[in-house]
Amino acid sequence: MTANVIFYPIIVPLVTALALLVTPKKMKWGKEIVAIAGTALNLLLAIALFKSNIYFSAPWSGFGIDFSLKLYQFSSFIILAAAGFAFLITLYSTASLFNKDYAKPFYVYLALSLLMVNGAVLADNLVLMLFFWEGLLVTLFGMITIGNKHAFKTATKAFIIVGISDLFMMVGIALVAYLGGTITISQINLTTAGLGGLAFIFLIIGAISKAGSMPFHSWIPDAAIDAPLPFMAILPASLEKLLGIYFLARISLDMFELNVHSWASTTLMVVGAITILLAVMMALVQKDYKRLLSYHAISQVGYMILGIGTLVPVGIVGGLFHMINHAMYKSCLFLTGGSVEKQAGTTDLAKLGGIAKSMPVTFICFIIAAASISGVPPFNGFFSKELVYDGALERGMIFYVAAILGSFLTAASFLKLGHAAFLGKKQGNAEVKEAPMRMLIPMITIASLCVLFGLWNALPLNNLIQPILGKRLEGHNFSGLPTNALLVIATVVVLALALLNHIYGVKKTGKALKATDHIRYAPLLGHLYDMAEKRFFDPYNIGLDIVNFFAKIAAWFDRAIDWVYNILVVNAANLVTGLIKRLHTGNYGSYIIWSLASAAVILIFLIRAI
């Protein structure tokens, strides 16, 4: 195989995008055929390239900025995963976006996004990577704008939030170049001491904001409502996660030498744990199918960051395994959301219900994916979460507790979602039919992969994940059943608790949609006490206040980030501005004085030395 093959993952999507642009509008199936053919070709290519090692480098724009690409175990894996998702979601979109006038730009953006992801993953030079990285931001912007009428505002919000964090990453790259003397990724080897720590933090900010972690997440739930649905399945749920976590792993495993007890590791774990908990708490109280999913998309990133942040082999393997698992079940979930939206006409949980009978395949796929995300054995999510728990426990009880608590809340919210959307009483009169075949195939494929990766976890772990870490593992093997029986028991107990909790909630309120309300409004132990007791000394209300307080903090945190971006900066600057504005009276006499006085200062400065 010649080295030129390495360009094909960049060229194929580019050609696809260009071909899409010139496809005439009148051809009925033209754009669909081109899009499917292009992504399929890309998938075949990714399979062919899988596990090959190619390196290519050519001088590009000087100053050490080379056009160097590196294909190896890790990057070929990400490319394969991205290609698979792109193909399946294109197939899905041919049905869900058929007749929509934004279908064509969507395919173009999808192809371009694929190009950018492939490029960023292959790049072995930080500036080259930044180039593709930013390209993905543009396609992100474009994809959101083609949604509904609020989409432009959301797109701008996403663009600005991600853009700002990318600015940080840029500074980080400058710091790396300054400290390490090179921006070739495979040659960088830094520590987190002093300025290196700053560089590390800046790079991490870029990586986790691409992955959608807190506090860079607030555009995702908005986009879930405003953007076209396949967008959520392709970018925030799969491609961006793959890319963000890939880069996070590169930073913390390859570029920086971190040891287990460094502050950097702890920081990552704290960010991960906070993201898990806050986002899942927000998810719990959502009343919209897509919005609920989007908060989970944020929450699950926490597990990956937590897993990689542990820096112990089992945690890293778990984090990476969770990355691929999450991309699968979350895109599957979004796809079921898309089917429901298309067939039932809404994603508002209050208006949904009882559609399981009429959409059995969608429902089964939903159950598999939901069980996966909740960590129910024997699906894939269970195994990756166990690995993450194992790693977290090794680093500290508190992280494990946060992770398992997140798991409990995840399970609770999915029980609520499934119950409210698919079971229960039917709402409205409209006859709901099963989604068309082209939408079902991707869901079924991904759902069966979820099962496969769970039952036969040796396949992904031995072939995909563990070789990435190579010598770090030193004889460990994490495939097969989890070794720590206690953890498994704990997980099962937590899941059972979640189920009990759900049943209790439904009983108490009578509605599946309100099944989690008691978590929001009640302390965990409060409902064990007698009703009468509450009237005198009301632990219920106190507990309600406390939980409300935390729920409010979660919500406030969410809004506060918006506030900082939109208001604080402007107001603070306005104070200074007032002064400057008052100085500009319009009197040219004073302008002359400014000029002459400054000229005098400059002259004196220049000749002072003599």
Partner 1 sequence: MPSLMILIPLFGVIILNLVFAVNSRMKKAAFWLALAIFSLQVVVAVFHHPALWNDSLGRIDSFLNVSFFVDHLSFIMFICIGMVSIASLFVARYGMKDEDDIFKFINLLIMASIGMSGIVMVKDIFSLYVFMEITAVSSFLLIAFPRSLESLEGSFKYLILSSIATVLMLTSIGILFLAAGGTDFDAIAAAIGASYENALVLAAIGLFICGLFIKGGLVPFHGWLPDAYTAAPAPVSVLLAGVVTKSAGIYTMIRITTSLLPHYQSVNNILMLVGTISIFAGALAAIGQDNFKRMLAYSSISQMGYIILGLGTGTILGIAGAVFHLLNHSIFKSLLFVNSAAVEKEIGTSDMNRMGGISQKMPVTGTTSVIAFLSTCGIPPLSGFWSKVIIVIALWQAGQYAYASLAIIASIITLAYFLSMQRRVFFGKLRAGLENLKDAEGGVLTVSVVLAALTIGIGIFFPFVFNTLILPVKEILVR
Partner 2 sequence: MTIINIDNALLIVTAIAAIWTVMGRSLLKATIGLAVTSAAISVIIFRLESPLAAVFELSVCAGLITAVFVSAISLTKPLTHKEILYASKDRMKRYIYLPVILLVLGAALAFVKIWPGLVIAAPAAASQPEARSLLWDFRRLDILGQVIILLAGAFGIVLLFGEKKNK
Where along the sequence are the contacts to partner 2 (CB under 8 A)? 589, 593, 596-597, 600, 604, 607-608, 610
Q: Does 198 bind partner 1 (CB under 8 A)?
A: no
Handedness of CA 27, 29, 35, 39 (dihedral sign): negative
Binders in 588-607 for partner 1, by CB under 8 A: 588, 590-592, 594-599, 602-603, 605-607
- Calpha distance 361→356 (Å, rounded): 9
Q: Which is nearer to partner 1, 226 or 390 (CB)?
A: 226
Q: Does 247 bind partner 1 (CB under 8 A)?
A: no
Q: Which is nearer to partner 1, 119 or 353 (CB)?
A: 119
Q: Does 541 bind partner 1 (CB under 8 A)?
A: no
- Calpha distance 111→88 (Å, rounded): 13
Q: Which is nearer to partner 1, 114 or 392 (CB)?
A: 114
- Residue 556 interacting partner from partner 1, partner 2, none (CB closer than 5 to 8 Å by kind): none
The residue type at 233: A
Q: Which is nearer to partner 1, 193 or 606 (CB)?
A: 606
Strand-pairing partners, residue 55, are 70
Q: Which is nearer to partner 1, 486 or 576 (CB)?
A: 576
- At its nearest, how many Å lie between partner 1 and the CB of residue 14? 12
- Residue 576 interacting partner from partner 1, partner 2, none (CB closer than 5 to 8 Å by kind): partner 1
Q: Of 143, 107, 117, 116, nearest to 33 (Cα)?
A: 107
Q: Does 134 bind partner 1 (CB under 8 A)?
A: yes
For helices 240-249 and 126-145, give the axis angle rounded to 10 degrees: 160
- Calpha distance 356→144 (Å, rounded): 30
- Looking at 44, 52, 153, 260, which residue binds partner 1 (CB under 8 A)? 153
Q: Does 564 bind partner 1 (CB under 8 A)?
A: no
Sequence-ordered list of residues with C-beta below 8 angstroms from that of 49, at least 6 positions apart, any chain: 5, 8, 9, 71, 76, 79, 80
- At its nearest, how many Å lie between partner 1 and the CB of residue 610? 5
Q: Which is nearer to partner 2, 528 or 609 (CB)?
A: 609
- Looking at 81, 130, 208, 411, which residue binds partner 1 (CB under 8 A)? 130
Interface characters, 341-380, with partner 1 (x: CB under 8 A): ----------------------------------------
Q: Does 10 bind partner 1 (CB under 8 A)?
A: no
Q: Which is nearer to partner 2, 524 or 603 (CB)?
A: 603
Q: Which is nearer to partner 1, 131 or 529 (CB)?
A: 131
End-to-end alpha-carbon separation of the chain, Å? 68
Q: Which is nearer to partner 1, 102 or 152 (CB)?
A: 152
φ/ψ (deg, to 5) at 586: 90, 0
Tokens coding 550:
């935390």
- At its nearest, how many Å lie between partner 2 and the CB of residue 600? 6
Do residues 281 and 214 touch, judged by C-beta distance below 8 A? no
Q: Which is nearer to partner 2, 578 or 589 (CB)?
A: 589
- Residue 475 interacting partner from partner 2, partner 1, none (CB closer than 5 to 8 Å by kind): none
Element (H, E) at 609: none
Q: Does 58 bind partner 1 (CB under 8 A)?
A: no
Q: Which is nearer to partner 1, 171 or 401 (CB)?
A: 171
- At its nearest, how many Å lie between partner 1 and the CB of residue 101? 16
Q: Please count the CA atoms within 13 angstroms of the CA of 476 that sit on its side-chain side.
A: 21
Name the DSSP letter for residue 213: -
- Calpha distance 163→134 (Å, rounded): 8
If DSSP states are collapsed to H, E and C, what string results for 291-321? HHHHHHHHHHHHHHHHHHHHCCHHHHHHHHH
Do residues 89 and 107 touch, judged by C-beta distance below 8 A? no
Q: What contacts 24+ positions apart, CB below 8 Å, involve 340-344? A: 340/289, 340/421, 341/229, 341/289, 341/290, 342/95, 342/96, 342/435, 342/439, 343/432, 343/433, 343/434, 343/435, 344/430, 344/432
Binders in 165-194 for partner 1, by CB under 8 A: 166-167, 170-171, 174, 177-178
Handedness of CA 588, 590, 592, 594 (dihedral sign): negative
- Residue 194 interacting partner from partner 1, partner 2, none (CB closer than 5 to 8 Å by kind): none
- Residue 167 interacting partner from partner 2, partner 1, none (CB closer than 5 to 8 Å by kind): partner 1
- At its nearest, how many Å lie between partner 1 and the CB of residue 258? 24
Q: Of 85, 75, 73, nearest to 110 (Cα)?
A: 85
Q: Does 496 bind partner 1 (CB under 8 A)?
A: no
Instruction: Kindly list the residues in this chain that would bind partner 1 in the complex (CB under 8 A).
Output: 60-63, 65, 130-131, 134-135, 137-138, 152-153, 156, 159-160, 163-164, 166-167, 170-171, 174, 177-178, 566, 569-570, 573-574, 576-578, 580-581, 584, 586, 588, 590-592, 594-599, 602-603, 605-607, 609-610
